[in-house]
């Protein structure tokens, strides 16, 4: 996928069709293209229309009789500049933290039917807290979110860690948070998406999920150039507001060396109509890897891979959160938003 194509998928706004973001992402991996493919935003060069890449020259071997007069690595005596990815293994999550954006690169979780059925924690006893394992000057702070207009959006939801109060408490660390649009996303479509992930344990004995932010470029309407632009909240501004979020899902069949159903989704950090099919946001896992600079399944052989949405129906059960708040003793009846493909 070319840099231009990646920019095009990021430039599609939620207002004109957030699902198109995922659709264009996926298109490069699901079909062969003609020498030039014309989209509404212009002509995209394809590998067939580009000159072959020029191999990078190999470094010249150092002559054995040459003693360098300088030592660049000597700067390490004063400290290693980085980057440092703060790896945070907890009992309910494992994450890597990006000190520059004050957001996680990724947060991983593992859920099973048994872990979700356990009910040994109460969300009312959990509180958002700063993660003191991250140096103070690089840490996201509670004050950064104060009156920011954004929710402290869980990457691993608290509802996935009800098996222990300690486990649930750890999901409230700010290293598990990103600024998310509240109404229409974090409190709505994103919450329904999290519920979809939990319901996968009805079909698979083991489900692993990696969630994280993306900062994708979009095309400037004035000069037509592509730029990465995102808001930063806090005083002073510290925490980046992601443009998109991804989830990579590994649904395991429970057998040693067995099949793994893979699902990859990219959603804009914006209000999304609950009627939008979840499959509108399905993308190839390679697209997320290219956009994030991360790798998720490099050790999973192709013969063990299945496509999640070809194995089960990828659809949401939408609940009316306002009604649920009015009646805490019960829950609103669900509505299924069906996808055009897949089967239960």
Q: Is 110 one of the annotated active-site residues of the chain?
A: no
On whether the pTM is more than 0.85, the answer is no
- Per-residue model confidence (pLDDT) at position 343: 39
- What residues are paired with 208 via a beta bridge? 110, 250
Instruction: Tell me if 308 sits within 8 A of 219, measured CB to CB.
Output: no
pLDDT at residue number 333: 44
Question: What separation in angstroms does the CA of 245 have from each of 90, 147, 198?
Answer: 22, 22, 18
Please give the pLDDT value at position 65. 81
Residue of 110, 154, 192, 244 marked active site:
154
d(CA 7, CA 116): 38
Q: What is the DSSP string of 103-134?
A: EEEEEEEEE-HHHHH-----GGG---B--TTS
In order along its 344 residues, the chain shows pLDDT tens digits of 444 444 434 444 444 344 445 444 544 444 443 333 332 333 333 334 445 555 666 666 777 788 889 999 999 999 999 988 899 999 999 999 999 999 999 999 999 999 999 999 999 999 999 999 999 999 999 999 999 999 999 999 999 999 999 999 999 999 999 999 999 999 999 999 999 999 999 999 999 999 999 999 999 999 999 999 999 999 999 999 999 999 999 999 999 999 999 999 999 999 999 999 999 999 999 999 999 999 999 999 999 999 999 999 999 999 765 544 443 333 444 545 444 444 33
pLDDT at residue number 64: 78
H helices present in the chain, as ranges: 3-11, 19-30, 113-117, 142-145, 165-170, 189-199, 285-292, 308-311, 321-326
Angle 19-30/3-11 helices, nearest 10 degrees?
Answer: 150
Pairing, β 260-268 against β 305-307 = parallel
Q: For residue 296, what are the contacts with CB-CB under 8 A and spacing of at least 6?
A: 210, 248, 285, 288, 289
254: left (phi over 0), alpha (psi -120 to 50) or beta: left
Res 186: pLDDT = 98
pLDDT for the residue 63: 77
Task: Yes or no: say if 317 and 334 are a contact pair by the CB < 8 Å rule.
Answer: yes
Cross-strand pairs, 202: none
Q: How far apart are CA 239 and CA 145, in angstroms?
A: 8
Q: How far apart are CA 26 and CA 284, in angstroms?
A: 6
Task: Compute the C-alpha angle 313/316/318, nearest 5°.
Answer: 150
Q: Are the C-beta atoms of 338 and 318 separated by less than 8 Å?
A: no
């Amino acid at each position: 996928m070319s840099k231009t194509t990646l920019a095009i998928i990021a430039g599609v706004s939620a207002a004109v069709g957030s699902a198109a973001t995922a659709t264009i992402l996926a298109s490069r991996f699901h079909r062969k293209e003609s020498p030039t493919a014309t989209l509404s935003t212009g002509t995209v060069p394809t590998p067939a229309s580009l000159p072959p890449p020029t191999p990078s020259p190999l470094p010249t071997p150092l002559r054995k009789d040459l003693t360098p007069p300088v030592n660049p690595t000597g700067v390490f005596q004063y400290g290693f500049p980085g980057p440092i990815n703060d790896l945070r293994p907890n009992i309910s999550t494992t994450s890597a933290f990006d000190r520059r954006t004050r957001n996680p690169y990724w947060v991983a979780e593992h859920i099973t039917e048994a872990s979700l059925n356990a009910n040994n924690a109460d969300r009312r006893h959990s509180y958002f807290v700063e993660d003191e394992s991250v140096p103070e000057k690089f840490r996201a702070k509670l004050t950064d979110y104060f009156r920011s207009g954004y929710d402290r959006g869980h990457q691993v939801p608290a509802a996935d860690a009800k098996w222990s109060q300690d486990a649930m408490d750890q999901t409230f660390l700010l290293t598990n948070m990103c600024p998310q649009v509240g109404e229409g996303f974090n409190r709505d479509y994103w919450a329904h998406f999290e519920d979809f992930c939990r319901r996968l344990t009805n079909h698979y004995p083991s489900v692993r999920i990696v969630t994280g932010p993306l900062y994708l470029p979009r095309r400037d309407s004035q000069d037509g150039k592509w730029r990465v632009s995102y808001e930063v909240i806090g005083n002073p501004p510290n925490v980046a507001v992601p443009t998109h979020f991804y989830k990579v899902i590994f649904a395991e069949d429970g057998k040693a060396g067995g099949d793994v159903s893979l699902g990859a989704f990219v959603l804009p950090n914006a209000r999304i109509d609950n009627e939008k099919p979840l499959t509108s946001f399905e993308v190839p896992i390679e697209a997320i890897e290219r956009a994030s600079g991360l790798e998720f399944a490099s050790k999973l052989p192709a013969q063990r891979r299945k496509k999640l949405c070809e194995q089960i129906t990828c659809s949401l059960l939408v609940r009316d959160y306002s009604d649920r708040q009015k009646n805490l003793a019960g829950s609103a009846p669900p509505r299924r938003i069906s996808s055009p493909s897949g089967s239960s």
